[in-house]
A = this chain, B = another copy of it.
Amino acid sequence: MARKPLTRPRKIATQERSRATVDNLIEATARILVKDGFDKASTNRIAEVSGVSIGSLYQYFPSKEALVAAVIERHQQQIMQTVRSELAQVSTQALDQAMRRFVAVAVEAHRLDPRLHRVLAEQIPRVGKLEKLQTFSRENFSLFRTYLEGARDELGVDDLELASFVCVTTIEALTHNAVLHHAKELTDDRMEALIDEAARLVTGYLKG
């Protein structure tokens, strides 16, 4: 207890070391999830790959689920960072422009780490981290809905809640499917085409 003030640098060093350890663990987990899938991602394996002892792993994460949850969280943070910055000026744009933006951003988000995205999307429901995913899609939903409210004049629909659900779901599904299941066929050209189509789809719908 007396030593704490004296060891601030050391403490910081320690904190940094902790931070590095945690990062290593999350990174290793992500890598293993991508490479071998959820089932092969054993805690012992994660410890080994991350260069952290299994004992330390459990000092930082109380369970395997906690680790996977951290991976999910990190991935979603990255996505939301992209989304937020990319959508900064969207509120000032006209509907056509804005929708294109929304779709383009969704594609970008999926392309951050498509393979990780896929594992998380497919295998993670089990992690009991649905809340996190909810939170995530809820924020997405909010951003969209907020835009719609500001652009009411251009819209031909009344129920903005319903319209937001329809649009967000649609955009998410189209980009998800396109990026994940048709990655090879998706040249940049075709991707542009797809973005156009999706934007036209929701724009037409919203104009009524």
Interface residues of chain A, those whose CB is within 8 Å of chain B, are 37-39, 122-123, 125-126, 159, 162-163, 165-166, 169-170, 172-174, 177-178, 182, 193-194, 197-198, 200-202, 204-205
Q: Tell me if A162 and B123 are in contact (CB < 8 A).
A: no
Copy tally for this chain in the complex stands at 4
Cα distance, A197 to B165, chains bound together (Å): 11
Closest beta carbon of chain B to A88's beta carbon, Å: 27
Choose from B126, B159, B169, B201 the contact partner of A166 (Cβ within 8 Å).
B201
Given known A200-B205, A205-B201, contact A193–B162 (CB-CB < 8 A): yes
Choose from B122, B166, B204 the contact partner of A197 (Cβ within 8 Å).
B166
In the A-B complex, the 9 residue pairs with the smallest Cβ-Cβ separation, listed nearest first, are A173-B173, A204-B204, A201-B205, A122-B125, A170-B170, A169-B177, A169-B173, A166-B197, A169-B174
Cα distance, A46 to B103, chains bound together (Å): 44
In the complex, which residues of chain B have a beta carbon less than 8 angstroms from the beta carbon of A39?
Answer: 126
Q: Tell me if A198 and B126 are in contact (CB < 8 A).
A: no
In the complex, which residues of chain B have a beta carbon less than 8 angstroms from the beta carbon of A37?
Answer: 125-126
Cα distance, A75 to B172, chains bound together (Å): 26
Cα distance, A201 to B153, chains bound together (Å): 19
Cα distance, A194 to B182, chains bound together (Å): 28
Cα distance, A202 to B163, chains bound together (Å): 14
Of chain B, the residue at the smallest CB distance from A173 is: B173
